[in-house]
Amino acid sequence: MGRSRRPRFMADAMLGRLARWLRVLDFDTRYQPALTDHQLVELANAEGRILLTRDRHLVRFLRPDQALLLGSQVPLVQLQEVIGACRLPPPPRLFRRCLLCNTPLCPARPEDLSGRPPPLPPDGMAPVFQCPHCRRLYWPGSHTRRMREALQRALPDWLPGG
């Protein structure tokens, strides 16, 4: 499945943590918990997104064009369900999307870091990325290490090491 053919997702209000994990894996995943079920289905259909939900009623009565009904309440198990059901390929790299707003990240410029440097490793050579939409900074730190470790435990045969 080529990059242009990667599925895009819409997560319902109960799946915010799943949306973040999909974004870590660089899958375009919209999450707008304030939308009504009708608005959610309408937007997912209009944008050709697979609607991720645990709500059987939503799937049965609103009939989204593409939906995946998840069984688990555990975000990393939900992630396993999505990967299996959609036959998703492992991403070439992790942490390429803003975890808050889903926008692809760009390398931060020195002027973007002025006055707000992230805690860098001792060599000071860690790459820093910025969301061009919400301006949030991202860098490899203990939080990304813990997330990588959690993904490796949850997806040992799917996610390449490192």
pTM of the entire predicted model? 0.89
pLDDT of residue 1: 40
pLDDT of residue 141: 83
3-state DSSP assignment of residue 130: strand
Which residue ranges form the domains of the chain, and what is each CATH number? 1-95 (3.40.50)
pLDDT of residue 3: 47
The torsion angles phi and psi of 49, rounded to 5 degrees, stand at: -95, 150
pLDDT of residue 86: 96
Q: Which residues of the chain have pLDDT under 50?
A: 1-3, 162
In this structure, what token pair is assigned to residue 102?
Answer: 């889903």
pLDDT of residue 117: 58
Quickly list H helices, 1-118.
16-24, 37-47, 56-57, 75-86, 110-113
pLDDT of residue 4: 52
Q: Length of the chain, please?
A: 162
Taking only the tens place, the pLDDT of each residue in 60-98 is 999 999 999 999 999 999 999 999 999 999 998 999 999
pLDDT of residue 139: 84
**Which residues fall within 8 angstroms of residue 100, CB to CB, at 6 or more apart?**
131, 134, 136
| Distance in angstroms (rounded) separating the CA atoms of residues 99 and 160 | 21
| Distance in angstroms (rounded) separating the CA atoms of residues 69 and 67 | 6
| Distance in angstroms (rounded) separating the CA atoms of residues 104 and 21 | 14
pLDDT of residue 82: 98
| Distance in angstroms (rounded) separating the CA atoms of residues 13 and 133 | 22
